[in-house]
Amino acid sequence: MSEEEKKNLPDSPKAKKMDKAAPKKENAVIKAFNALRRWGREMKSELKKVLWPTRAQTLQNTLIVIVCVLIVGVFIWAFDGIAGLGVQSLINTVKG
C-alpha cells in the first residue's frame, strides 16, 4: 500500500496525526469574543494588583492639584497683562 493510500484510511496513524495537526477553523465572531474575554480576565487580574489610594490621600492630592492650577493661572494672567501692556506701549510709540 502506498503512502497516499495510508493517508486516506480513516484508522491509519498518519490520518490521525494529520487530523490533530489540521488547525481548527473558528468563526471571526468567536475569535473576537474570545479575545474580549481574555482581555477582560487580564484587566481584572491587573486591577487586583493596583494599590488604590485612600479617600484622604485622594482629597489631599486633589487639593494640591487645584492649588497648583490656581498658582499657574495667576502667573499666566500676570504675564499676559504685562505682555499686553508692553505690546500696547509699543503700538502707541509707533503711532506717535
pTM summary value:
0.50
Q: How confident is the model at residue 27 (pLDDT cuts 50, 70, 90)?
A: confident
Instruction: Examine the domain organization and report whether 6 and 39 are in the same domain.
Output: yes
How much is the pLDDT for 15? 54
The rounded distance, in Å, linking the Cα atoms of 37 and 40 is: 5
Instruction: Examine the domain organization and report whether 1 and 42 are in the same domain.
Output: yes
Instruction: Examine the domain organization and report whether 45 and 2 are in the same domain.
Output: yes
Sorted by sequence, the CB contacts under 8 Å of residue 12 that are 6+ apart come out as 6
3-state DSSP: the chain helix, strand, coil percent, rounded to 5?
Answer: 80, 0, 20
Q: Please give the residue range of the domain that contains residue 1.
A: 1-50
- What's the mean pLDDT in 18-29? 65
Instruction: Examine the domain organization and report whether 65 and 39 are in the same domain.
Output: no
- Collapsing DSSP states into helix, strand and coil, what is residue 27? coil
Q: How confident is the model at residue 28 (pLDDT cuts 50, 70, 90)?
A: confident
Least confident segment among 26-35, 41-50, 52-61, 69-78: 26-35
